[in-house]
Structures are given as C-alpha cells and as structure tokens.
C-alpha cells in the first residue's frame, strides 16, 4: 500500500500581546482573517496577554519553530505593553531603544527559519484613550500607567524599524487618529479593541495580506467535484 501524502496547510502566524490573543473572540480581527482564508490557510494565534517584546523575543523560538508548514505571513503586533510608563508599571515597560532592537531581532529570527522579509508585517500599538484606560487602572488600584503620546513614540519607532528591516507595517496609531477622528470608538476600555476596532484592523490588515495569499490554492476538492462513484480518485490525488 502506497504512503498517503500529507495535506499541509500553509500558515499565517499572528504574534503579539493581548490585542492578538483576543483576536479570535467573537468579531475579532483574527477571526475575520481566518474566515477569509478557510480551506486555504491556517491562521495561528500566538498572542500572549501582558507580554512585551523583551519576553516575546525569548519565547519566539519555542512557539514558532522550524516547521513543515509553509509560512505565508507573520504579523508582529507589540508595543502596547512596552510603552507602559516606567515609574507606574516597571514590570511591563521596555525602553524605546530596546523595543526597537527587540522587534528587529524578531525579524532576524524569522529570517533565520526561512520566513522572508516580504512575509512579515509589523502592526503598531493603537492610540490610547487615557480617560477610559485610567478608569480601568483605578479599578485595579493603580494610577494611569500609559499615555497616548508615549504610545505614539513606540508606534513611530515601529514604523522606522519596519523600514530599516524591509518589512511592511500597519500604523494603527496614525490611521485611527487620521483627520482628528474620535478614535475612542475603536477601543473597548481605552487600550483594547472594540468590535469596531477589530473590524478596522481586519480591513486594513487584509489590504496587506491579500496579495500574499491570493495565489494560495483551495485545499482539497470542492464537494461538487468529488466523484461519488470513486471518491478516492478525487480525494487522494495531489
């Protein structure tokens, strides 16, 4: 009996903090991307709530090892924790220069396992709605521990690092505040994404992903193309 050839789905890996971890919730941006790519690609969530780039860089080789599955794209979505104010939240804070070096190191690792620059997409932290986030902080017994202006510095560093590393970038911090719009509608608590924010990310990310996945074939035959008298002839061919 001949050995069956495995069906291997390509992968899109979403690597980030809580904004990525929650991307597969109802109406999440990851769910929307996964829905668009059903039967073409596995969308793999590697979001780690609360993590910064210092920790992410350490665990990356453990959670994205060399694999048989071809990688169609990787999103790198950090900064919302790195930009925490050092005096208010030293555990998560990462200095700006180190943040820049860390995301560049993440690219270097991905390159080392065969993921080319054109498959990597940075996503900047979104803007921070300070009044809403301060309420969340106070509920937990702490003072406001992030500022939108500081989040903007990390977003700008992310954009610059993307240019230096030759990778694409989705600048949420700028796009969500474009033309002075009320960006609070994109946030559920001042930091994390609302339904509208998830939709915003999904739509803008898809414009970057689409050309990377447009040539991926539909995996396994459409049911109407299966020979009902001899399904093996349809289902076991390459």
Set 18, 31, 184, 188: catalytic member: 18
- Quick check: is 188 catalytic? no
Dihedral, 23, 24, 26, 28 alpha carbons, nearest 10: 30
Set 93, 168, 171, 192: catalytic member: 192
> Could you tell me how far CA 25 lies from the centroid of its own chain?
14
Contact 199, 32 (CB under 8 A): yes
Which DSSP symbol is given to 170? E
- Quick check: is 171 catalytic? no
How many angstroms separate the CA atoms of 23 and 234, rounded?
A: 35
Set 35, 112, 118, 189: catalytic member: 189
Using CA atoms, how far residue 101 sits from 58, 105, 113, in Å, is 13, 6, 19
Contact 76, 16 (CB under 8 A): yes
The continuous run of DSSP H or E covering 120 comes out as: strand 120-123
Using CA atoms, how far residue 130 sits from 123, 133, 141, 148, 192, in Å, is 21, 5, 16, 7, 12
Q: What are phi and psi of 47, to 5 degrees?
A: -85, 140
- Quick check: is 192 catalytic? yes
Which residues are annotated as catalytic? 18, 189, 192
């Amino acid at each position: 009996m001949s050995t069956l050839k495995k069906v291997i789905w390509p992968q899109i890996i979403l690597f980030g903090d809580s904004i990525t971890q929650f991307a597969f919730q109802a109406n999440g941006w990851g769910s929307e991307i996964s829905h668009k790519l059903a039967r073409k690609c596995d969308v793999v969530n590697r979001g780690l709530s609360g993590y910064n780039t210092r920790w992410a860089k350490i665990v990356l080789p453990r959670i994205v090892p060399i694999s048989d599955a071809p990688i169609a794209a990787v999103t790198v979505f950090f900064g919302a924790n790195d930009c925490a104010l050092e005096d208010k939240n030293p555990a998560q804070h990462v200095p700006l220069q180190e943040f820049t070096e860390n995301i560049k190191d993440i690219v270097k690792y991905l390159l080392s396992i065969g993921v080319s620059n054109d498959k990597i997409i940075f996503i900047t932290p979104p803007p921070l709605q300070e009044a809403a986030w301060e309420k969340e902080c106070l509920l937990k017994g702490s003072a406001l521990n992030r500022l939108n202006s500081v989040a903007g510095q990390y977003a700008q560093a992310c954009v610059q690092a993307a240019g230096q590393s030759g990778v694409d970038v989705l600048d949420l911090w700028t796009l969500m505040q474009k033309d002075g719009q009320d960006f609070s509608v994109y946030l559920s608590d001042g930091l994390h994404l609302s339904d509208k924010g998830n939709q915003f990310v999904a739509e803008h990310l898809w414009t970057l992903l689409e050309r990377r996945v447009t040539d991926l074939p539909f995996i396994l035959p459409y049911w109407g193309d299966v020979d009902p008298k001899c399904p093996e002839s349809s289902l076991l061919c390459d």
